[in-house]
């Protein structure tokens, strides 16, 4: 659904020099520099401030999906990314899940969400989820499976209990017995005018560029590291889609 790091760099290079030259130059640069260094270079080359650059990152992250679906489908997608469990009708959650499956039938987040959703309310439910991603597709899909599979006829507006607290800062609000879902590398805004009443993002915590990586790596104590250490020291941890040989795992 989303571009890998190399494709993401190529998209940012294209924003500077155009699509025709971007692929060749991006390949050359990626053979010499890491993606986070090139994202930092793109920020500098484009000459925009931090907020403008975050908007560019967000638009590029969702660009491919937005281009392949209709305007109505895009509105549904962006609504559900930030929706609460009982906010929309069950039929809308079914449409959302079908939209994802039609366009990305092998999406790993869908498979992970189905498994996690099946554990909620049992003794094997996760005590926390720590995400290194900057988008909320996984928690929204967990909500979709949970809403669809609930044996209830209740519709939107009823008090369906929230399953997760989306945590983007050290002072983010948490309520028991919800499961904390930590975005420890920040959360990009969703590029849509839909649901502006409740924006879930955390651009001040984004770890995309080289300067952000270096700032994190050189901090002796940070909220992100304390969250990770606390959970890994006291719980069994399952790593999904993470390379421990990646230097950015520092």
Alpha-carbon gap, residue 216 to 188, rounded angstroms: 18
117 occurs within a structural domain: yes
**Residues sharing a CB contact under 8 Å with residue 172, sequence separation 6 or more, in sequence order:** 165, 166
Residue 38 contacts residue 57 (beta carbons within 8 Å) = no
Do β-strands 129-131 and 164-167 pair in parallel, antiparallel, or remain unpaired? Answer: unpaired
What are the residues whose beta carbons fall under 8 Å from the beta carbon of 19, sequence distance 6 or more?
Answer: none
Structural domain includes residue 19: no
Residue 134 within a domain: yes
Domain tally, the chain: 1
Report pLDDT for 49.
84
Look at residue 149 and tell me if it is in a domain: yes
Ordered alpha helix ranges (H), 162-222: 210-217
Indicate the pTM of the whole model: 0.84
pLDDT tens column, 23-75: 999 999 999 998 888 988 898 899 888 888 888 988 999 999 999 999 999 99
Give me the domain span that covers residue 66: 48-235
17: left (phi over 0), alpha (psi -120 to 50) or beta: alpha
Asked if residue 173 has pLDDT above 70, the reply is no
pLDDT in tens, 117-131: 999 888 999 999 999
Nearest-10 Cα torsion for 17, 50, 190, 225: 120
Specify the range with the lowest mean pLDDT, choosing from 40-49, 154-163, 239-248. 154-163
Q: How many CB atoms lie within 10 A of CB 38?
A: 24
Position 86 in a domain = yes
The pLDDT tens digits of the residues spanning 186-221 come to: 888 888 755 544 445 555 556 666 677 777 777 767
């Amino acid at each position: 659904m989303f571009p890998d790091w190399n494709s993401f760099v190529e998209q940012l290079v294209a924003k500077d020099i155009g699509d025709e030259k971007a692929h060749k130059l991006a390949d050359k640069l990626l053979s010499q520099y890491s993606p986070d260094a090139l994202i930092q270079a793109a920020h500098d080359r484009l000459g925009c401030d931090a907020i403008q650059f975050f908007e560019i990152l967000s638009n590029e992250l969702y660009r491919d999906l937005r281009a392949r679906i209709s305007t109505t489908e895009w509105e549904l997608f962006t609504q559900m990314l930030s929706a609460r469990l009982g906010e929309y009708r069950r039929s809308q959650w079914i449409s959302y899940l079908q939209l994802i499956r039609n366009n990305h039938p092998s999406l790993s987040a869908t498979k992970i969400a189905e498994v996690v959703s099946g554990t909620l309310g049992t003794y094997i439910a996760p005590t926390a989820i720590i995400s290194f991603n900057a988008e909320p597709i996984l928690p929204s899909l967990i909500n979709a499976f949970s809403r669809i599979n609930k044996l209830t006829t209740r519709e939107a507006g009823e008090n369906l209990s929230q399953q997760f607290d989306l945590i983007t800062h050290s002072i983010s609000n948490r309520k028991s017995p919800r499961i904390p879902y930590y975005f420890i590398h920040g959360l990009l805004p969703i590029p849509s005018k839909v649901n502006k009443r409740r924006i879930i993002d955390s651009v001040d915590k984004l770890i995309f560029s080289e300067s952000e990586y270096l700032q994190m790596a050189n901090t002796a104590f940070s909220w992100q590291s304390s969250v990770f250490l606390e959970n890994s020291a006291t719980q069994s941890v399952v790593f999904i889609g993470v390379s421990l040989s990646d230097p950015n795992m520092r």
